[in-house]
Structure 1
Amino acid sequence: MSNIIDDVKREFAKSENALVKIILINTAVFLVLLLLKIILTLSQSSNVYYAVLDTLKLPASTNEFIHKPWTLLTYFFTHEDIFHILFNMLFLYWFGKLVDEYLGAKRVIALYMLGGIAGGVIYMVLYNVLPYFQSQIQDSRMLGASAAAFSVAVGASTLLPNYTFNLIFLGPIRIKFIALFYIILSLAQSLGENAGGNLSHLAGAVIGYVFIKLLQNGTDLGKPIYAIVNSWSRLFRKRPSMQVTYRERQVYRNTNVYSASSSGTIEAPDQIEIDSILDKISRSGYESLTREEKQKLFKASQQK
């Protein structure tokens, strides 16, 4: 058990594995809730479990949301069904790895957070504006990372539409078609039992598309998210060690999670570097590029 805890601590200590951290947080919340459900159900106090769960779900009613504003964030880190979290985390991992490789860790966080927030906002708007949902508003609540995962998936598909995944029984399929299939599936389910939730997935998809398109034109929607994450990380960062020798003081500081040297702010390559990267692609394909080469290629595309 201690080895597992140590492994988790090591993962959280790393600065460039945002995707793993998001998955670990979702998994930890799921396991805690599962354990709580088992304990409280066996002790015949299941009502306590559902009360705890309700504090994490996003309510459709704005009157209830006013008293629980934190649910706009907590809902997309919360799952109750094992297949729900399994699908969302696999979906997030497959597409998130591409965003991480080409754009850096901070863009994964931005896509995930903005997609989740947009999905939650649209969910409440739908239930409070459309007559179709009015009769269900008091009993409707949403949980799960689907909208956030959709944002990452569509973001990756917008960035690399012709990148292929090798799927079992189906073979190589371009990721733009995979993303399109799930968008159509959400639309098809938009009049079912979880209509508002399925439509909120589409809000995440729109955010993913807009985020990448604006980023390619030099506008980064994620800047407020980066600032909040950096401020949050500074609160929990250990004080830098200090060593004083004679009258000369040396201060050793940890680098910022998203410092100037991070992958998200890599310098634009010159034409020689671009030609070298393109030659490597023609010889060995996109998969042969290093993280830095992928990010340089994306940086070059922004200058066009």
Structure 2
Amino acid sequence: MNGTSFQSDIRYWLRQGNTVNHLLFWNIVVFVVLGLLYLIAYFGGPGTIFSFTFDQLVLHSELGTFIRKPWGLVTYMFTHLNIFHIFFNMLNLYWFGNLFRTFLGNKRILPLYLLGGIAGGLLYILTFYILMPAGVGLPLLGASASVMCLLVACATLTPNYEIGLLLLGSVRLKWLALAVIVLDLISIPQGNMGGMIAHLGGAALGFIYIKLLKNGADLCQPLIWVFDALSGGRNGSTVSAAPKSRRTSFKPKKSPLKVVKKVEENRQSRLDQLLDKINEKGISSLSPEEKAWLDKHSRD
């Protein structure tokens, strides 16, 4: 058995150009690292390492602590301690993140994930500051606000889209999102008020984002520009270079099959271009002619 196969699988998984995979990966990495540090502390090791790391990653509700550690507004949405907490968050991130990616493209996944988490975190801090200004600062952690943002964004964009749920059958997204929000509201008096408030903040951002997007304002665009600048435009160069490399690498000799091969090459080139367009901007970016062409040739 090849000892490097696991590493190869991870590299292949991350190189698929799917931001959801990267978000899953980093959430799991942080969870494993914290779990190992906690395990070491549990068996008598230096507990200060775990305490320090955990304190740096979570979002603090006490305003003075938050001002000293503002990065918690981002790191908290990648931080989990409970196995069931991360399992359900990552399961929902996989489902609704990929669904959102199909509708609106890959580039909006990370910006909206971050914006949803930030909205939930700020609402959490504001609520605690208003209700318990002198209370104990309770930390917030988990990707729930970000996942709620993606879920509600999908439900707002395509409310009648149906997904299959175990024991319940097909459920429209709008009813699923509404049920989750109602459950969060009625769960506030039962404990974990901060977490539920963060969920509502993420849900509100997801709803507002789609409403503004339909009116021509994309809240994710500034972050998309930043990430494109940081990546050096590698995504764009890869898309444009692929058809070129195919054209230059294929140099057939004179043959009766030359015309047939050229047609096949052009069809594959256009198919790749349309798939790249769906990956970057979502299937809704295709024109009716492009959708008809893709539907015809993808089944050949």
Q: TM-score range by the shorter chain?
A: 0.7 to 0.9
* Cα distance change of structure 1 residues 262 and 92 upon mapping to structure 2, 3 Å threshold: closer
User: Which residue in 2 is equivalent to 1:21?
Assistant: 22
Deviates more, 1:47-56 or 1:150-159: 47-56
1:53 aligns with 2:54: yes
**C-alpha separation in 1, matches of 2:83 and 2:196:** 18
Unpaired stretches in structure 1, ≥5 consecutive residues: 241-258, 281-287, 291-304
1:169 aligned counterpart, secondary structure: coil
**C-alpha separation in 1, matches of 2:6 and 2:230:** 25
Give the counterpart letter for 2:118 in structure 1.
I
Q: How does 1:126-141 map to 2 (within 5 A)?
A: 126-130=127-131, 133-136=132-135, 138-141=136-139
Give the counterpart letter for 1:263 in structure 2.
E
1:187 aligns with 2:185: yes
Contact 2:103 2:283 in 1 (8 A): no
User: Which residue in 1 is equivalent to 2:42?
Assistant: 41
User: Which residue in 2 is equivalent to 1:71?
Assistant: 72
Contact 2:105 2:283 in 1 (8 A): no
Deviates more, 1:68-77 or 1:40-49: 40-49
* Cα distance change of structure 1 residues 233 and 42 upon mapping to structure 2, 3 Å threshold: farther
1:263 aligns with 2:280: yes
User: Which residue in 2 is equivalent to 1:4?
Assistant: 6
The alignment of Structure 1 onto Structure 2 pairs a total of residues equal to 256
Cα deviation 1:204-243 (Å, max 9, x = unaligned)? 0011111112112221110122123224434999xx9xxx
* Cα distance change of structure 1 residues 13 and 233 upon mapping to structure 2, 3 Å threshold: farther
Measure how far apart 1:114 and its partner are: 0.5
Cα deviation 1:6-64 (Å, max 9, x = unaligned)? 322333334x3001111111011101111121123213433431221111000001110
- Between Structure 1 and Structure 2, whose CA radius of gyration is higher? 2
Measure how far apart 1:127 and its partner are: 1.1
2:142 aligned counterpart, secondary structure: coil
1:189 aligned counterpart, secondary structure: helix
1:79 aligned counterpart, secondary structure: coil
**C-alpha separation in 1, matches of 2:234 and 2:39:** 32
**C-alpha separation in 2, matches of 1:52 and 1:109:** 24
Contact 2:105 2:281 in 1 (8 A): yes
User: Which residue in 1 is equivalent to 2:99?
Assistant: 98
Q: Which has the higher helix share?
A: 2
1:134 aligned counterpart, secondary structure: coil
Measure how far apart 1:266 and its partner are: 8.3
1:190 aligned counterpart, secondary structure: helix
Q: How does 1:172-251 map to 2 (within 5 A)?
A: 172-234=170-232
Q: CA RMSD in A?
A: 2.9
Cα deviation 1:179-215 (Å, max 9, x = unaligned)? 1111111111222321122111111001111111211
**C-alpha separation in 2, matches of 1:269 and 1:174:** 24
Measure how far apart 1:148 and its partner are: 0.3
User: Which residue in 2 is equivalent to 1:86?
Assistant: 87
Contact 1:111 1:155 in 2 (8 A): no
* Cα distance change of structure 1 residues 4 and 270 upon mapping to structure 2, 3 Å threshold: closer
Contact 1:119 1:204 in 2 (8 A): yes
Cα deviation 1:264-303 (Å, max 9, x = unaligned)? 28896556557x49xx7xxxxxxx9x8xxxxxxxxxxxxx
User: Which residue in 2 is equivalent to 1:255?
Assistant: none
2:170 aligned counterpart, secondary structure: strand
1:151 aligns with 2:168: no
1:107 aligns with 2:108: yes
Q: What TM-score, normalized to structure 2?
A: 0.77
Q: What TM-score, normalized to structure 1?
A: 0.76
**C-alpha separation in 2, matches of 1:154 and 1:266:** 19
Contact 2:103 2:284 in 1 (8 A): no
Contact 1:189 1:198 in 2 (8 A): yes
1:112 aligned counterpart, secondary structure: helix
Measure how far apart 1:95 and its partner are: 1.1
* Cα distance change of structure 1 residues 168 and 227 upon mapping to structure 2, 3 Å threshold: same
Measure how far apart 1:153 and its partner are: 0.4
Identity fraction in percent: 37
* Cα distance change of structure 1 residues 270 and 145 upon mapping to structure 2, 3 Å threshold: closer
